[in-house]
């Protein structure tokens, strides 16, 4: 077994654990479907997320969600960090992916690095020690379930660092705590509609760029969907669609060798010209210029 394989302590297809992320094959980080949590103990890690440069230093935790694209991973020679990688299917079974969680996850996608103080980082390391101790005892009844529950505790704890003023959590259908920034009596049907919209949008290999598609899937009118999404999230469905489409554009431009024309076809744009105009409208650059600027920045 090579060093890269040695870095994987546990992998059952749903949850992967590593105590030395810099020794993991890079495709495990770039091609995952789910969430990655990396805790930096020493040194520096640099990478691009959705085409933007991100730096992770000691006592910082990186959380990357499934709808984000990773590329250009680099580590300093003294870097040491732990990694927990979980598939989305596992997360949905362990965690109540409600409005509260979706909102926090989206904010993490915008600011994926959490800087912890000494006490909080020590708590994070203790979670990892619990994972390692559980692995050392070997397989026995509920072994995997214990690992899963520790992972869910890590994720919930880290989500608590995001927007700490929003403390409402649903548990068993009951609301615990209070919202400081939204209606204290949330419209649960509206939140379910928002959740359904985001799930369809984020998990579709090809993102439809019209609201009617999602309204039909959710069995509501386009006007109603627009009203609800704006009310719940503060953004229109068109804003969300453009945001997720551009994530796919960045992924194809920065992490594949597909030509611009091939990307336009793959993403179901009606023409190369339309694709070029769409990208320039959202970035200020043509797809070719955007890719070139990124390549120059890396060099």
Please write the tens of the pLDDT for every residue from 156-172.
Answer: 999 888 876 654 444 33
CATH code of domain 187-299: 1.10.10.60
Q: Which residue has the higher pLDDT, 186 or 246?
A: 246
pLDDT > 70: percent of the chain = 87
Q: Is residue 185's pLDDT more than 70?
A: no
Q: Is residue 296's pLDDT more than 60?
A: yes
CATH number for 3-169: choose from 2.30.40.10, 3.40.50.720, 3.60.20.10, 2.60.120.280.
Answer: 2.60.120.280
Do residues 82 and 18 touch, judged by C-beta distance below 8 A? yes
Strand partners, 36: 64, 85
Where residue 5 falls among pLDDT bands split at 50, 70, 90? Answer: low
Q: Which residue has the higher pLDDT, 189 or 169?
A: 189
Q: What is the predicted pLDDT for the residue at 4?
A: 45
Tokens of 252: 């194809």
pTM, 2 dp:
0.70
Do residues 74 and 108 touch, judged by C-beta distance below 8 A? no
Give the span between the Cα atoms of 140 and 120, in whole angstroms: 31
Q: Is residue 234's pLDDT more than 50?
A: yes
Q: What is the predicted pLDDT for the residue at 226?
A: 94
pLDDT > 90: percent of the chain = 53
Q: What is the predicted pLDDT for the residue at 30?
A: 79
Q: Considering only CA atoms, which of 12, 8, 74 is closest in space to residue 43? A: 74
Q: Phi/psi of residue 29, each to 5°?
A: -85, -35
**Domains of the chain by residue range:** 3-169, 187-299
Q: Which residue has the higher pLDDT, 117 or 26?
A: 117
Of 77-81, 98-102, 111-115, 272-276, least confident by mean pLDDT is 98-102
Q: Is residue 121's pLDDT more than 50?
A: yes
CA distances for 163 relative to 101, 103, 108, 111, 236, angstroms: 11, 9, 10, 11, 21
Residues contacting 12, CB < 8 A, separation 6+: 144
Task: Find the mean pLDDT for residues 114-138.
Answer: 91
Where residue 153 falls among pLDDT bands split at 50, 70, 90? Answer: very high
Q: Phi/psi of residue 130, each to 5°?
A: -65, -40
Residue 275 CB coordination number (10 Å):
21
Alpha helices in the chain (DSSP H): 3-6, 26-30, 88-94, 99-110, 118-136, 143-159, 188-203, 211-218, 222-233, 237-255, 260-266, 272-283, 287-298
């Amino acid at each position: 077994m090579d060093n890269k394989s040695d870095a994987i302590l546990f992998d059952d297809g749903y949850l992967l654990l590593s105590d030395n992320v810099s020794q993991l094959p890079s495709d495990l980080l770039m091609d995952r479907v789910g969430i990655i949590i990396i805790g930096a103990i020493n040194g520096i890690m640099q990478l691009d997320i959705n085409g933007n440069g991100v730096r992770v230093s000691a006592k910082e935790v990186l959380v990357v969600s499934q709808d984000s694209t990773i590329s250009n991973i680099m580590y300093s020679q003294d870097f040491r960090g732990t990694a927990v990688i979980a598939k989305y299917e596992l997360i949905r079974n362990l965690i109540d992916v409600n409005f509260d969680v979706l909102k926090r996850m989206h904010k993490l996608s915008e600011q994926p690095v959490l800087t912890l103080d000494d006490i909080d980082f020590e708590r994070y390391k203790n979670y990892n020690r619990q994972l390692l101790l559980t692995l050392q005892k070997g397989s026995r009844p509920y072994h995997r379930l214990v690992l899963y529950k520790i992972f869910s505790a890590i994720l919930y704890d880290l989500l608590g660092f995001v927007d700490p003023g929003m403390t409402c959590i649903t548990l068993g259908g009951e609301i615990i705590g209070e919202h400081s920034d939204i209606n204290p009596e949330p419209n649960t049907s509206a939140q379910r509609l928002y959740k359904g919209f985001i799930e369809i949008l984020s998990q579709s290999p090809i993102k439809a760029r019209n609201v009617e598609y999602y309204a039909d899937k959710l069995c509501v009118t386009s006007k109603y969907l627009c009203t609800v999404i704006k009310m719940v999230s503060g953004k229109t469905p068109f804003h969300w669609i453009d945001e997720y489409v551009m994530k796919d554009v960045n992924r194809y431009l920065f992490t594949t060798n597909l030509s611009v024309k091939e990307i336009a076809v793959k993403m179901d744009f009606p023409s190369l010209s339309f694709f070029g105009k769409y990208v320039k409208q959202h970035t200020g650059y043509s797809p070719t210029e955007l890719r070139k600027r990124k390549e120059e920045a890396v060099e």
